[in-house]
Amino acid sequence: MLQPSQIEQLMRCQTLEELFYALRSTTYEPLLEIYNESGDVQRLEAYLLHRNVQLHLDVAKYMKDLHEEAVLALTRKLEVENLKSVIRLWFSNTVKHQNIDYRFGYLFQDRIVADIDWTKIVNAERFEHIIDALSHTPYAKTVSTFTMEQLAVEGLFALETALDRTWIHELRIVVSHLPKIDRELTEAVLDRDADLKNIINLVRFGWMYQLPGNELRMLMLEGSDVVGTKEFEAYLATKPAQRSVEKLVAKLFPSLSRQLRESGKTTPEEQTSMVEHYLFVVRKRAFHAMLQGDPFTFGTILSYFFLEERQDAMIRTLINGIHYGWDSTNIREFVL
């Protein structure tokens, strides 16, 4: 892991070359060679995804039986993200008739967990071919409920959120078979994540995009306490413009409710950003607690993935921030 002094040094870099020079002798050293060879920022992002997938698969190799399955189930998150990206490209090309040119080259094209023919998906003439390409994967049932005509009219939003829910569902099934201590620990993390992600979706789609209550309900991730509350039902029943996030979280997350109230931030964008930050802080605290606790639980692996994911996100932010000429204060704000 990068040390705080190294991170501070990275944030002072003004060009990508300096950033990669500062990352010598770290696990991110290959970025320097990739950039020297290609000058292509998107290839760097592709490498970071590749690295993350490899890291998950390496951890899985060290596990056995149920724990290996659990790590692979976590890895499916990266698979789902990649699948969504490939389907988005297909959608742009085949449905929207836009030129996707070389963009497929930046996506992950090897096996992650399931045996998916990515090339077949991006080149599919009809959505049925995608369903066929995913027929032997956990996503088969989910994608088969959509049609090309439906996607052409409604877009990919429903499909993408359905894939997210499928991943969570599959993960929960695997986690339910873990030994008691690992199961309880992982489920606690998943429940909290589900709560906060649902709140983010309720703010973003229920308030910002003003989705009706029944559609919002469809978006909810399983295992969330928020969904069972009176406040949730009241939120759905309220007219989109009058929905109050503060009231929604008042009972389950009083500190978040207080922060929202005291921040003076009233726009949906600001409130979404606050909830996202709250989620990040809560997760960080939970993972740090796990690292300080019993080292021989699944929590250590969850924490490791969390810390690596956070570090990758930081490097990605630095690369994009420097490449697109963001202000150094903005970069610092995003990174920290």
Partner 1 sequence: MNVFTVPMKLLTAVVLDEATEQVKRALLKLGVLDFIQVSHLAPEQASRFASAREQEEPERYTNLRARVETLFMQASLVAPSTEKLNPDTMQQIDMGRSKQLVDSVANKVTAIREQQKQLSQNRIRVEELLRYVKNRQNTYVDIRIGILEKGSVEQLRSRLANQAYVLLQPADWNDLVLLTLKRDRQQVAPLMQSLNWIENPDGMKQSAAMLLLEDELEKQLRQIDATNAEIKVKISEKVHEERDKLEQLWCELRLHELMGEITENFSHTRNTTIFSGWVPLASAKELEEAIRDASNQACVIEWIDAREMPREEIPVAVEDVPLLRPFQKLVDNYSVPEYGTINPTPFVAISYLTMFALMFADAGQGLVLLLLGLLGIRYYRKNPQGRKKLISADLSRLLVYLGGASILSGIIFGSYFGFSWLPPLWFDYHGAVIGHEGANRDVYSILGITIWFGIIVIGTGLLLNWTNLIRKRDYFHLLLDKNGIIGGWLFGCGVWAAFAFVASGYKQLPEGLFLPLAFGIPLLILLTKVPLHRYLAKKHGHVIEEKGLGSIMLDSVLEWIVDVLEIFSGFLANTLSFMRVAGLGIAHVSLMSAFAQMADLAGGKVAGILIIVLGNVMVIALEGLSAGIQALRLNYYEFFTKYFTGRGLLYNPVSLRSHAGRQVLNRS
Site string for partner 1, 195-234 (x = CB under 8 A): ----------------------------------------
Q: Does 255 help bind partner 1 (rule: CB under 8 A)?
A: no
Q: What's the rounded Cα separation, in Å, for the pair 336 and 332?
A: 6
Q: Does 12 help bind partner 1 (rule: CB under 8 A)?
A: yes
Site string for partner 1, 116-155 (x = CB under 8 A): ---x--xx-x------------------------------
Q: What's the rounded Cα separation, in Å, for the pair 163 and 272?
A: 22
Minimum CB–partner distance for residue 35 and partner 1 (Å): 8
Helices 157-175 and 180-203: crossing angle in degrees, nearest 10, is 160
Minimum CB–partner distance for residue 42 and partner 1 (Å): 8
Q: Backbone dihedral region of 26: left (phi > 0), alpha (psi from -120 to 50 degrees) or beta?
A: beta
- When the beta carbons of 33 and 222 are compared against partner 1, the nearer one is 33
- Choice from 22, 72, 134, 319 touching partner 1 (CB under 8 A): 22
User: Nearest Cα to 297, choosing from 183, 177, 207?
Assistant: 183
Q: Does 3 help bind partner 1 (rule: CB under 8 A)?
A: no
Residue 208: DSSP 8-state: I
Q: Does 328 help bind partner 1 (rule: CB under 8 A)?
A: no
Site string for partner 1, 91-110 (x = CB under 8 A): --xx--x-xxxx-xxx----
- Choice from 21, 222, 258, 294 touching partner 1 (CB under 8 A): 21
Q: Does 37 help bind partner 1 (rule: CB under 8 A)?
A: yes
- Choice from 1, 27, 36, 111 touching partner 1 (CB under 8 A): 36
Residues in the chain: 336
Minimum CB–partner distance for residue 34 and partner 1 (Å): 10
Helices 268-292 and 180-203: crossing angle in degrees, nearest 10, is 170
- When the beta carbons of 65 and 101 are compared against partner 1, the nearer one is 101
Q: What's the rounded Cα separation, in Å, for the pair 153 and 150?
A: 5
- When the beta carbons of 221 and 318 are compared against partner 1, the nearer one is 318
Q: What's the rounded Cα separation, in Å, for the pair 227 and 139?
A: 24
- When the beta carbons of 40 and 170 are compared against partner 1, the nearer one is 40
User: Nearest Cα to 151, choosing from 127, 132, 120?
Assistant: 127
- CA-to-CA separations, 182 to 170, 177, 178, 286, 294, in angstroms, rounded: 17, 9, 6, 14, 11
- When the beta carbons of 97 and 239 are compared against partner 1, the nearer one is 97
- When the beta carbons of 18 and 215 are compared against partner 1, the nearer one is 18
Is the Cα dihedral 43, 46, 51, 52 positive or negative?
positive
3-class secondary-structure state, position 109: coil
Is the Cα dihedral 162, 164, 168, 174 positive or negative?
positive
- When the beta carbons of 46 and 114 are compared against partner 1, the nearer one is 46
- When the beta carbons of 122 and 196 are compared against partner 1, the nearer one is 122
- Choice from 38, 176, 328, 330 touching partner 1 (CB under 8 A): 38
Task: Classify residue 329 by burial, with Cβ atoms within 10 Å: 0-12, 13-18, 19+.
Answer: exposed
Q: Does 17 help bind partner 1 (rule: CB under 8 A)?
A: yes
- When the beta carbons of 59 and 121 are compared against partner 1, the nearer one is 121
Is the Cα dihedral 56, 300, 65, 174 positive or negative?
negative
Residues lying near partner 1 in the complex (CB under 8 A) are found at 9, 12, 14-15, 17-18, 21-22, 36-41, 43, 93-94, 97, 99-102, 104-106, 119, 122-123, 125
